[in-house]
Structure 1
Amino acid sequence: MKVFVAGHRGMVGGAILRRLQARREGGEAVQLVTRTHSELDLSCQAGVREFFRAERPDAVILAAAKVGGILANNTYPADFIYENLMIECNVIHQAFEAGVTRLLQLGSSCIYPREAPQPMREDALLTGPLEPTNEPYAIAKIAGIKLCESYNRQYGVDYRSVMPTNLYGPGDNFHPENSHVLPALIRRFHEAKESGLESVFIWGSGTPRREFLHVDDMAGAALFVHDLPPDVYRANTEPMLSHINIGCGKDVSIWNLAELVAEIVGYGGRIERDDTKPDGTPRKLMDVSRLVSLGWKPRIGLRDGIAATYDWYLANNGQTRD
């Protein structure tokens, strides 16, 4: 099988690529196709069309996206909605035009309403207003789900969507302004420890609760869903509800997460709240009962996952843990 992994240099795409490479090394007939952004701009319709006409993959895993935390989403809303819509439209449509019948696209838990009942079930989609701080990004990811559903209904292809919870792990973005909460905390506490700072501020009240899944678990779950026989997948979804949640089914408050990260990093100063910053959605916990019923469960606990991610951060910044 010839598989195009779009976004293979990102955290999620890289983890999926590693899994597929391991399968190939194990003797499975997998031919992998990748392109860097400089080689193929997925927001360029003509370029994507020519790529699919030339490569003709059998399957596509769409892990490419423009992503970021609250600050990035608030600062660049036009970039987030435009770039993600263009990537999804180009890849999904040109895959169809090239005869691709199997496609898996990765979404985000932010597709669900801000006040969705917890844990969030797949059928909570489009039942209420979205979180304002990342609404443009969420709308783009909802459009990706609906694109897959529409091509399935009209053309009978097998385009699937998975909605992961908050992810972290090797290859994460540790940018001081544009990263998600967990890598941001790792960097902030590490730099505070190195600089001897007496306190570290976290955004907001610390009361919002978030669920975190290691990216290697996410990669395993994504390929698990990709590999499901069509009759099994259809039996666990609906024509107008064709996505499956991916998560661990457990959440933690931002305050407790900060305490855990500080402990793992070895920071001994104070943790303080910056109440001038937004909290975002009060709680985001995925209902993963569909995925669990199919036989998948995560393997990496939060403490072990954060410790391994911190080691990766140190190794890629030329440092070692004390």
Structure 2
Amino acid sequence: MNNTDKIYVAGHNGLVGSAIVRLLKSKGHTNILTRTSAELDLRNQVSVKEFFAKEKPQYVFMAAAKVGGIWANKTYPAEFIFDNLSIQNNVIHEAYKNGVTKLLFLGSSCIYPKNAPQPIIEDYLLTDSLEPTNEAYAIAKIAGIKMCQAYHQQYGCNFISVMPTNLYGPGDNYDLQKSHVLPALIRKFHEAKMNNDEHVTIWGTGKPSREFLHADDAAAACYFLMQNYDQPEIINIGWGKDDTIAELALQIKETVGFTGKLIFDDTKPDGTMRKLLNVDKLNALGWSASINLKEGIQNTYQDFTSKYDYYTSKK
């Protein structure tokens, strides 16, 4: 990508999309195209068609999606599958129709089977059943992968699909019901500290392990792959190391400065017990993550505290 090429970042206000925009600007790219959901509803086929016909982007980072944690996925499965399928279908198809040079589709590690061997290699896709709590979202993402591969096969489109692990960082969603585990815990511990609570209750047993990747690392990986990877086969993006939810909670507790106890509510679902991506394929191309979990949590907590008034106003 040249600095003057027109680059469309779909979902530029989201966690990964905003990190991609920050990175593109830091690299000197001056022709970055963005639209808010109010300006362009990507679920609307006619609107997306008109947008691509008018703007003619040369590169597309497809980071727009309806996302959420376990509670949101279980509560709104119809919205998760409909919205994501609609967004993907419209953007990918119009990218093909309007001659986009290259498109990067952001999937998710939840596409892999619930009981996939660990760490998870790309070849495990569609080898077993999915985790039921986020099946609707996972099926939509799998459809996006297969769509990119089909357009590569039939039309020769340079559409690539990347599978990031659990992401976090500045710009995350800290809503207690709709967010993922790390930002939700940041808010829980912060409010417990403010209220001088004696304990914080955490969903599940604390035994499941998760891999966490900072959004700035994810953006750097996407930028690297946009420049250096042209194959239709999916490729994992991750840190390569995981931590239990209990270990994560202790790290956040220390960062926030909460001095109370932890209580694990084992009546709530754990989800998949382990989910660690094998990133050998990405590392072999010459890229690896650089922001460790301690540094990333500190960075994210600073982001949260700077926006805390906004989140409390939404209660």
Aligned residue for 2:16?
12
Separation in 2 of the partners of 1:295 and 1:101? 23
Give the counterpart letter for 1:144 in structure 2: G
2:286 aligns to what SS in structure 1?
A: coil
User: 1:299 pairs with 290, 293, 301, which one?
Assistant: 290
**Pairwise mapping of residues 89-104 of structure 1 onto structure 2 (< 5 A)?**
89-104=89-104
Separation in 1 of the partners of 2:247 and 2:56? 48
1:103 aligns to what SS in structure 2?
A: strand
**Pairwise mapping of residues 1-322 of structure 1 onto structure 2 (< 5 A)?**
1-24=5-28, 30-228=30-228, 233-234=230-231, 242-317=233-308
| 1:233 CA displacement | 3.6
Give the counterpart letter for 2:282 in structure 1: L
Offset from partner CA, 1:1-44 (integer Å, 9 cap, x none): 111110001111000011111122xxx5x411111111100000
2:272 aligns to what SS in structure 1?
A: coil
Offset from partner CA, 1:236-286 (integer Å, 9 cap, x none): xxx5xx111000100000011111111110011010110110000110000
> Residues 158 and 230 of structure 2 are in contact (CA less than 8 Å); yes or no, is this contact kept in structure 1?
no
Give the counterpart letter for 1:168 in structure 2: Y
Offset from partner CA, 1:122-169 (integer Å, 9 cap, x none): 000000000000000000000010000000000111000110000000
| 1:318 CA displacement | 5.3
1:218 aligns to what SS in structure 2?
A: helix
Give the counterpart letter for 1:306 in structure 2: I
Separation in 2 of the partners of 1:276 and 1:76? 21
Give the counterpart letter for 2:18 in structure 1: G
Separation in 2 of the partners of 1:4 and 1:143? 21
2:171 aligns to what SS in structure 1?
A: coil
| 1:299 CA displacement | 1.1
Separation in 2 of the partners of 1:270 and 1:214? 27
> Structure 1: which 4+ aligned runs deviate by more than 3 Å?
none
**CA 82–44 in structure 1, closer or farther in 2 if over 3 Å, else same:** same
| 1:185 CA displacement | 0.4
Q: TM-score, normalised by structure 1?
A: 0.93
Offset from partner CA, 1:178-235 (integer Å, 9 cap, x none): 000000000001100100110111111111000000000000001100111xxx643x
Offset from partner CA, 1:42-61 (integer Å, 9 cap, x none): 00000000000001111111
Q: CA RMSD in A?
A: 1.1
> Residues 209 and 275 of structure 2 are in contact (CA less than 8 Å); yes or no, is this contact kept in structure 1?
yes
Separation in 2 of the partners of 1:5 and 1:273? 39
Count of aligned pairs? 306
Separation in 2 of the partners of 1:130 and 1:13? 26
1:172 aligns to what SS in structure 2?
A: coil
Q: Percent identity?
A: 57
Which 5+ residue runs of structure 1 have no aligned equivalent?
none
